[in-house]
Amino acid sequence: MTTQIPESLQFSHKQRYGTLAPNSVKNILVLQGSPRKDGVSKTEIVASAFLTGCEEAGAKVEIINLREKKISHCQGCYTCWTKTPGKCIFKDDVADIMKKTNAADLVLYALPLYHFGIISLMKKYIERTLPSMYPYLITRDDGATTHPDREGYKTKKNVAILGVCGFPEVKHFGALSANFHYLSNAGGEDGMNIVAEIYRPMAEILNNPFYAEENSRILAAAKKAGSDLISKGFVDAETVDAIADVRLDKDELYDAANKSWDHCINEKITMPELQKQLLE
């Protein structure tokens, strides 16, 4: 079964969404790709609201902050396909993360948008999952080529994607979304089963007390999205659209943002440092 594509996510690439059986997700693993710390990370703020909804609906949550893990770059040596099948040459944290993702009922990829694509920390981890596949070439459902999953790994993996960015238009998530959907489509009916995409543009306002009312609305919608995903098995298109909707005057946002940047430049402080000052 597939769900309706929300109006805010009408991208140009091929999208396919699956659903979950209601209340079937008992444990969620979160791969948090933001390099920022808690309290400043806008990814963490939206994800926290979403996950609160998941927990209140009965799911258990484990969060892995990729910034805290040792993840080496894939060397393209294919040792994991030949000399040590299923095992990478690097003895870092990736194998343990892969075991956790394989055991989870749902994996949430939570990340900020950097240069309109998947942030490098998350991409580095994804590239290191090569040991979970065999090297053989097979034909997938649509006639294109793919690799088969190695024994011991799920053939169908339920995932949700949550992203934030600083620009006010949700269309900027197009390339990020396309990358995940390409991974999903590569597995045909198996592989990555995307059950939800949650995107919040203009996310830098999220811990700004001047936008408290709008922030409360956004986070309430994110919490509902998490609750509905667990209890109903999908997120209503209206809820996804509400999170993506920037209900503030764009010119006023530009003016406030540019003045904030001028202040940071003049005071020689970073934007996260300014945001911390506003919260004190």
Residue range of the domain that includes 106: 7-248
Contact predicate 30/159, CB 8 Å:
no
254 and 171 within one domain: no
100 and 68 within one domain: yes
Considering the entire predicted model, what is its pTM?
A: 0.94
146 and 272 within one domain: no
125 and 188 within one domain: yes
256 and 238 within one domain: no
Give the dihedral sign, CA 67/68/69/70: positive
Is 91 contained in some domain? Answer: yes
224 and 206 within one domain: yes
Helix (H, G, I), strand (E, B) or coil at 190: coil
Please list the rounded mean pLDDT of every run of 10 residues in the chain (280 residues): 77 90 97 88 96 98 97 97 97 97 97 96 97 93 87 92 96 96 82 94 91 96 98 96 95 92 95 80
268 and 230 within one domain: no
57 and 25 within one domain: yes
Is 162 contained in some domain? Answer: yes
105 and 82 within one domain: yes
Is 2 contained in some domain? Answer: no
277 and 234 within one domain: no
Q: Could you give the angle at which helices 271-279 and 250-267 cross, rounded to 10 degrees? A: 100
218 and 130 within one domain: yes
The per-residue pLDDT for range 154-177, each reduced to its tens digit, is 888 999 999 999 999 999 999 999
Q: Provide the domain count of the chain.
A: 2
Is 1 contained in some domain? Answer: no
164 and 93 within one domain: yes
The per-residue pLDDT for range 202-253, each reduced to its tens digit, is 999 998 888 999 999 999 999 999 999 999 999 999 999 999 999 999 999 9
